[in-house]
Amino acid sequence: MLYPDVALEGSLAAALRAAALKEGFSVPFTASESDLLRHATLPSTVPQRTILEITAWVAERRWSIRGCESFQGMALIDGTTQDLAQVARAAQAWHDGAALTAICRAAPFVHLTGRFEVGDHDPVRLAESEWQHLLTEADEVDWPEYRALVAHRGGRFTLSASIMGDVLVDTITVADAVSTAVRHLPSGLRPVTSGAV
């Protein structure tokens, strides 16, 4: 009932191909064997990206997208829209290897998660990418405690040995909080690396 145009084309992938052709480009969408009308995927020409997943909602006419990095499968982009042509534009940019910000310009419904692509899987850059994601997420959620934990912007810093442990420092400066944390780190720690611990 919600997707007569998709049903007419026979699959979400076929409807997306038709929408792309109307926009003047061709993109190799693949239909989902398990649910032709609700799911489609699209590969990327960029090796550090997974397939783009496109899903039709059940309760209302809307589509969601999710595109991840290939090393850990963490989302780089996501978003929802009621405009199938916008989905096709985002998909074409993802497929062709456009920069993440360029994908947003091509299809404004696309949301950047804050993560960025780390082609060489450098562990330090991967940690930086995940931290950037946490900061982005904290700025977007309506959860003051989470925002205060991740994106602290002034006020006091209280550091304790454990969740309910003794307070090690209560300070107004990041430098004091970090230096106290470093002094209390266990011995034998090594740099961030990928793989087994």
Please determine, for residue 154, whether its predicted confidence score (pLDDT) is greater than 70. Answer: no
Average pLDDT of the residues of the chain: 89
Helix axes 12-23, 84-96, angle to 10 degrees: 80
pLDDT digits (tens, 9 = 90+) for 177-196: 778 888 888 888 877 666 65
pLDDT of residue 193: 67
Domain ranges for the chain, please list them: 4-112, 123-183
What pLDDT score does 152 carry?
Answer: 59
Ordered DSSP codes for 10-33: TSHHHHHHHHHHHHT-----EE-S
> Beta strands of 29-172 (E only): which ranges?
30-31, 39-42, 49-56, 63-69, 75-81, 111-112, 157-160, 167-171
DSSP state of 142: S
Q: What confidence tens digit (pLDDT) does each residue in 25-67 have? A: 999 999 999 999 999 999 999 999 999 999 999 999 999 999 9
pLDDT classification of 139: cutoffs 50, 70, 90 = confident
pLDDT digits (tens, 9 = 90+) for 69-102: 998 899 999 999 999 999 999 999 999 999 999 9
Q: Which residue has the tokens 């209560």?
A: 170
